[in-house]
Amino acid sequence: MPFCVGVTGGIGSGKSRAASMFGELGAGIVDTDAISHEITGVGGSAMPAIIEAFGDSVVAADGSLDRAVMRRLVFANPQARKQLESILHPRIREHARHQVAQSAAPYVLLVVPLLLETGGYRDLIQRVLVIDCDESLQIIRARQRSQITEEAVRAIMAAQLPRQQRLAGADDIIRNDGDMAHLRHQVTVLHQRYLTMAAGAASKEQG
Ligand SMILES: Nc1ncnc2c1ncn2[C@@H]1O[C@H](COP(=O)(O)OP(=O)(O)OP(=O)(O)O)[C@@H](O)[C@H]1O
Ligand SMILES: [Mg+2]
């Protein structure tokens, strides 16, 4: 398996942006949000199980998951949320493991928004990178990225780890409280470190 860094951070902290910068430098990127969308999209591999569990009302006309309907359903019903997660999580994990294993990049970043909350993926990752920024910036950026109220962002933040606890789980931290150039600089420095670590891990494996 390639050297793998788990990337996490609160909503709007800059995980996706940072990951794409690492990707431009040559890191492999495996994004669990993207996998989740793929398996619940048109012809997605999770759709038969979802339809069996929740019926046709959660399916859009094209056969993909109707996210708005599903969101309302799980918001009102913790049991339904559990059931949805029990369908999605093992499938996302299996796809992620496969994509990490197949990567030809010198190392892989595995982006998992709730990495520290769920404690998952430990067997796949060697390090945890936390993307961190001020909570007020998180709200501004999350709202900039998608049409969402401040109240809704705060509700999501409340369901995620408090900032200090997340930072306590980090091996590496990117402080994304400046401009894009500031973010890019930190990504470039860490990329070099990860290349060195990955090369060290690979030679240990061989020798
Ligand atoms: N340093 C920065 N300066 C200005 N804007 C930024 C910076 N970092 C990220 N952004 C912007 O903030 C928004 C949120 O960033 P991004 O989508 O990467 O966060 P995320 O952690 O992936 O969020 P989510 O948890 O919702 O997936 C995006 O519009 C992104 O372009
Ligand atoms: Mg993202």
Reference 110, options 101, 118, 189; nearest CA is 101
Q: Which atom of ligand 1 lies at the shortest distance from residue 111's CA?
A: 22
Task: Tokens for 77, please give them.
Answer: 């019903």
Whose C-alpha lies nearest to ligand 1, atom 11?
Answer: 141
Question: What percent of the chain is modeled with pLDDT above 70?
Answer: 100
Report CA(43)–ligand 1 centroid distance (Å).
29
C-alpha 29/C-alpha 107 separation (Å) is: 9
Indicate if ligand 1 lies below 6 Å from the C-beta of 175. no
Indicate if ligand 1 lies below 6 Å from the C-beta of 13. yes
Q: Which atom of ligand 1 lies at the shortest distance from residue 13's CA?
A: 21
Which three-class secondary structure string do you get for 99-145? Answer: HHHHCCCCCEEEECCCHHHHCCCCCCCCEEEEEECCHHHHHHHHHHH
Sorted by where each begins, the domain ranges of the chain are 4-27+105-202
The DSSP secondary structure of 56-88, one letter per residue, reads GGGB-TTSSB-HHHHHHHHHH-HHHHHHHHHHH
Distance between start and end Cα atoms, the chain: 15
Indicate if ligand 1 lies below 6 Å from the C-beta of 176. yes
Res 147: pLDDT: 87
C-alpha 200/C-alpha 207 separation (Å) is: 11
Task: Tokens for 51, please give them.
Answer: 């339809």
159 alpha-carbon distance from chain centroid: 15
Res 207: pLDDT: 72
Of 141, 166, 173, 183, the one to substitute when testing ligand 1's pocket (max ligand atoms within 8 A of C-beta) is: 141
Indicate if ligand 1 lies below 6 Å from the C-beta of 15. yes
Res 206: pLDDT: 78
Q: What is the DSSP letter of 11?
A: T
CB atoms within 10 A of CB 29: 19
161 alpha-carbon distance from chain centroid: 14
Report CA(77)–ligand 2 centroid distance (Å).
25
- Residues contacting 154, CB < 8 A, separation 6+: 139
In this predicted model, what pLDDT tens digit does every residue of 2-46 receive, in sequence order?
999 999 999 999 999 999 999 999 999 999 999 999 999 999 999
CA distances from 184 to 18, 21, 27, 163 (A): 8, 7, 14, 22
For the chain, residues with pLDDT lower than 50 are none
Which CATH number is correct for 4-27+105-202, 3.40.50.300, 3.10.150.10, 3.40.50.1110, 3.30.420.340? 3.40.50.300
At position 93, the amino acid (one-letter code) is R
Res 121: pLDDT: 96
The model's pTM is 0.94
Indicate if ligand 1 lies below 6 Å from the C-beta of 184. no
Task: Tokens for 173, please give them.
Answer: 């931290």
